[in-house]
């Protein structure tokens, strides 16, 4: 168990809908990262938050947004969903230092039908 909790584990929704994925980082970790894993794109970095503020942005679509709350949990919001958004979404957390180990959650499998 990595200590990173993601909910829900599975999500099935229709095209055009909006969903929210939730992540609770390991105790003491201030940094949260979101990654998307798909068969054709592999593991892609989406966005990083550190202590409530956006720290880095990757290949995140404009339809997607995230935030980190004062209790350090994070939510990834996906809207106007398309079939191609079906993927595994992972949250990871780390202490915000150079080369810090990132601990990954079990992921949320999103299926858009």
* CA–CA gap between residue 25 and residue 33 (Å, rounded): 9
Interaction between residue 90 and other proteins (CB under 8 A)? yes
Single residue of 12, 84, 96, 113 touching other proteins by CB under 8 A: 96
Phi, psi for residue 27 in degrees, rounded to 5: -60, 130
**Peptide bond preceding 8 in cis form (omega within 30 of 0):** yes
* CA–CA gap between residue 35 and residue 99 (Å, rounded): 18
Of 14 and 53, the one with the shorter C-beta distance to other proteins is 53
* CA–CA gap between residue 102 and residue 105 (Å, rounded): 10
Of 12 and 43, the one with the shorter C-beta distance to other proteins is 43
Of 12 and 100, the one with the shorter C-beta distance to other proteins is 100
* Residues at the site binding other proteins, with contacts judged by CB under 8 A: 2, 4, 31, 33, 35, 42-45, 48, 50, 55-56, 58, 90, 92, 94, 96, 98-107
């Amino acid at each position: 168990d990595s200590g990173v909790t993601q909910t829900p584990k599975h999500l099935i929704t229709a095209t055009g809908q909006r969903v929210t994925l939730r992540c609770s980082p390991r105790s003491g970790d201030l940094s949260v990262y979101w990654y998307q894993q798909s068969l054709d794109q592999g593991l892609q970095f989406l966005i990083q938050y550190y202590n409530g503020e956006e720290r880095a942005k990757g290949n995140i679509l404009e339809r997607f947004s995230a935030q980190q709350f004062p209790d350090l949990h994070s939510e990834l919001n996906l809207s106007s969903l398309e079939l191609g958004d079906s993927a595994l979404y992972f949250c990871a957390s780390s202490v915000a230092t150079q080369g810090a180990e990132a601990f990954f959650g079990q992921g949320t499998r999103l299926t858009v039908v």
